[in-house]
Amino acid sequence: MERGSFVLGHQLTSDQLNARILNYPTIAVPERKMTLNTSPVGIDRAILFDDGAYNNRDIQLIIGFEGKQADSNIQKFLSVLDTGKYIDFQMYSDPDYTYQVIRQSTGTIARPTYS
């Protein structure tokens, strides 16, 4: 994959959207899901149970869209993310790994100025 490129949901590529990831994403190691059980009577500390999974993590991306169809392409991008289920996402920074992503918060659409 070339710098800035991505594939969203096996159906939409950065080339189709005329878009690029503009920042190098910093991705934290996810936290392990553990259940803390403090209810048993007669023990002096809590019992930890490994839930066999990891918590979700946040990835913040800045994506630039170019061209006359930028507004339309932004809507296509968001509509794929707004399906209510996890979507496959591959990035240039980690091409051999497929992330399962959802959009959890608002996005900011900014119009940069050039001089």
Kindly state the tokens that stand for 51: 């839930």
> Is the predicted pLDDT of residue 40 greater than 70, yes or no?
no
> Is the predicted pLDDT of residue 62 greater than 50, yes or no?
yes
Residues 60-73, mean pLDDT to the nearest whole number: 88
The residue extents of the domains of the chain are 6-28+57-101
> Is the predicted pLDDT of residue 69 greater than 70, yes or no?
yes
pLDDT of residue 18: 93
> Is the predicted pLDDT of residue 46 greater than 50, yes or no?
yes
More confident residue, 60 or 46: 60
Scored b (16 or more CB within 10 A) or e, 16-29 reads: ebebbbeeeeeeee
pTM of the model: 0.75
Residues 24-38, mean pLDDT to the nearest whole number: 85
